[in-house]
Amino acid sequence: MLQQGQGLTALGKSWRPTTPALLGSHRQLSSSSSSSSSSSSSDAAPRYRGSSFVRAPLVSPYKRAAECRRCGGAGSVACGTCGGTGRLARGGYQKKNPVNAAKVIGSKWTAMERTFGWRHFRVLQKRGQGKGTFVLMSATCDESAQFWVNLQNLRERDRWASGWLQKTEMQALQQQRQQAAAAADEGVAAPRPGVAPQGTGCKACGASGSLPCPLCSLAGQVVEL
């Protein structure tokens, strides 16, 4: 048995306990590592917060504010329920043309789609009674373009309009029909052109006639990247 402090001469080698030396070196290493970590943490303080990076907001130089195309910069759009009037009209939109069979001869009509190359027609003759009543239509600019049509077809506003309309009047009539169709889908009456709307206030817009723009939300501008 070896006692503490004695050397070992086995195999021609001497051995002494080195534990105190190792402990001392361990203390030196731990102190040096702690000092280096403290110095590194102090150096990294401006760049880190704890264990996470400090992130600054990214500002793109290509961002710019542009006028909203939906509302034209106004920030609001017309209410689709009341047509921008703020009130719901009574009576609604007439889907049928009023036709008096007794006075239909000589009346003027405009075809909403070109018929035999023309749009303006006049009624020349009438035959039959009731739902079986037919009228002879003749183009005003070409008398050879004639055809018979059921009187019920003249009541359809999608096909015919009373009188000889110009292009702008036809476009306004088509727009009126589109608004009436949209109002019918929502269960409200469309206002008549040139007539002040009557009835109750529109609940959808609070009787103001306008709603916040769904694209810019009253801002009037959108950010483009």
Query: With pLDDT > 70 as the criterion, what percentage of the chain qualifies?
Result: 51
pLDDT at 146: 93
pLDDT at 104: 92
Query: With pLDDT > 90 as the criterion, what percentage of the chain qualifies?
Result: 14
Taking CB atoms within 8 Å and a gap of at least 24, the contacts of 153-159 are 154/97, 154/99, 154/104, 154/109, 155/96, 155/97, 155/99, 156/96, 156/97, 157/94, 157/95, 157/96, 157/97, 157/112, 158/112, 159/111, 159/112, 159/113
Query: What tokens were used for 129?
Result: 């009674």
Query: What tokens were used for 31?
Result: 């102190």
Q: Could you give the 3-state DSSP secondary structure of residue 34?
A: helix
Over the stretch 16-72, which tens digit does the pLDDT of each residue have? 554 444 444 444 444 445 444 444 444 444 444 555 555 544 445 555 677 877 777
pLDDT at 93: 47
- Report field, pTM of the whole predicted structure over 0.85: no
Over the stretch 125-134, which tens digit does the pLDDT of each residue have? 999 988 889 9
Over the stretch 121-158, which tens digit does the pLDDT of each residue have? 999 999 998 888 999 999 999 889 999 999 999 988 88
pLDDT at 167: 81
Q: CB count, 10 Å around CB of 164?
A: 14
β-strands 64-67, 76-78: how paired? unpaired
The CATH class of 101-156 is mainly beta
pLDDT at 200: 66
Q: Higher-confidence residue: 86 or 44?
A: 86
- pLDDT at 196 > cutoff 60: no
pLDDT at 40: 44
Band (224; pLDDT cuts 50, 70, 90): low
Q: Give the domain ranges of the chain.
A: 66-94+166-224, 101-156
